[in-house]
A and B are shown apart, each in its own frame.
Chain A
Amino acid sequence: MSDTHAITVEKTLPYPPEKIWRTLTRSDLLAKWLMPNDFEPVVGYRFTFQTRPMGDWDGVVHCEVLQCEPPRLLRYSWTGGSDSNPAYGSRLNSEVTWMLTRVEGGTHLKMVHDGFVFPGNRFAFDAMSPGWGRIMDAIARVAAEAEVSPV
């Protein structure tokens, strides 16, 4: 989907995929680095992450395991937030994918959080067109220029 934005974080880590997979899929380990949860690595399993509430949002992220192929691919939905929150706790109807690739000396770990549509999309998203990409490009340029020369 070209109208959505994805966030990608990736890194090569000096551990075998099996070890990383465990930290991604064992509920108690997951809680240590991500959030308290009741995750189980079973396709179709519904679980939640619990975090700090914000505004109209109770702080619960609702998820469902969509793909689970140990030790290389894990994908779950990530839904929560509220339209009234600007950054933290803003409305998300998205997916998180974890990809583990065995490489020399370890594992390449890649996380993609996809499906970011601009918040308040009730009124904005239906009007979204390829023009948005160009606007973002233009703004990135303007922002870069603004950094070097005070306006």
Chain B
Amino acid sequence: MTATAQLTAVLKSLADPTRRAVFERIAGEPEIAATALVKGTKVSQPAVSQHLRALRDAGLVMERREGRHVYYRPAPKGLAPMIDWLSYHQAFWQERFENLEKLLKEDE
């Protein structure tokens, strides 16, 4: 997947408030069982399953199966495309700031 496609997938996935709430719960735990996720919400089990699948496809969560249970945990690099985007601009200004300083020094 290209960087744009990755970022788009992440944003699309998190644009849904219910799905974002599911992701938020997963992100707050080292690992959580799918059954626990269903219990803590008013959303139906099939709907939760669908959100989990979407989060997994976007690379935001990781899935582990153990017998009949499925566990989810946040994918460490899941939000990296978003973080990269902001840090690019941070780096841009830091670099320009250095240029500015150099110019001021030359002009002494």
Contact = CB atoms under 8 A, between A and B. Distances in A.
Interface of A: 5, 7, 9, 11, 13, 15, 19-20, 23, 29, 32-34, 84-88, 90, 111, 113, 116, 118-121, 123-124, 127, 129, 131-132, 134-136, 138-139, 142-143, 145-146, 151
Contacts of A113: 89, 93
A142 B27 contact: yes
Nearest to A24: B100
A151 B76 CA distance: 8
A151 B30 CA distance: 12
18 contacts: A7-B90, A9-B93, A11-B101, A19-B104, A23-B103, A34-B96, A86-B84, A87-B88, A87-B89, A116-B86, A116-B89, A120-B8, A120-B12, A131-B20, A132-B20, A135-B14, A135-B20, A139-B79
A15 B53 CA distance: 57
A145 B74 CA distance: 12
Given A87-B84, A123-B11, A138 B27 contact: yes
Interface of B: 2-4, 6-8, 11-12, 14-17, 20-21, 23-24, 27-28, 74, 76-86, 88-90, 93-94, 96-97, 99-104, 107
A85 B52 CA distance: 27
Contacts, number: 113
7 residue pairs, one from A and one from B, having the closest CB atoms:
A146-B76, A138-B27, A33-B99, A87-B88, A86-B3, A124-B15, A124-B11
B19 to A, nearest CB: 10
Nearest to B27: A138
Contact of A139 (B7, B78, B88, B99): B78
A36 B86 CA distance: 23
A123 B8 CA distance: 10
A138 B74 contact: yes
B104 A20 contact: yes
A142 B76 contact: yes
B97 A32 contact: no
A13 B14 CA distance: 42
Given A5-B86, A7-B86, A127-B20, A33 B100 contact: yes
Nearest to B74: A142
